[in-house]
Amino acid sequence: MPKTPDELMQFLESLGITVTTYTHPPVFSVSESHGISAQIPGAHTKNLFLRDRKDRHFLVVVEQDAVVDLKQLHHVIGASGRLSFGKPEKMMELLGVIPGSVTVFGLINDTNHEVTVILDSHLMESDIITGHPLHNAATTTIQRDDLLRFIRATGHEPMILKVSQ
């Protein structure tokens, strides 16, 4: 059973990480979120749940307006051949979220460490980064260094690479 948003917040608190969560109407795409994100501090994210031809899964996290060349991305992240979007069922199995709610915070549900997390180097220049707290009717802000600490506490070692154009 996937973790709940409350369990996510408890986990963050157990790490000594302070976050701020803003509730808002559900958003299903970056374009829908622009009006909301203008009112919330931080670098807002776009999260791509991808798989390669060997069925390895990747979570690529970039700034919301970043341009990513999906045809060339496999070269940058070391994937086996071209990438495609991961299936919704696999997204739920691995990250515990549905399409429209993909978030770096979903790594709390990847207890078998099947997802490789890629953070765009441009995004990591920001002091505050945002993500959905396991659902798309809220946005949570977190300090960059605390985000890295959270990711590592889930058993993942993030790769920080230049993936945006």
pLDDT tens-digit series, residues 40-54: 999 999 999 999 999
Expressed as residue numbers, the domain containing 95 is: 5-161
DSSP symbol at 59: E
Task: Indicate the number of domains in the chain.
Answer: 1
The arithmetic mean of pLDDT across residues 72-93, rounded, is 94
Q: Is pLDDT above 80 for 20?
A: yes
Cα dist from 67 to 16, 39, 48, 71, 164, whole Å: 34, 23, 12, 12, 5
User: What's the CATH code of the domain at 145?
Assistant: 3.90.960.10
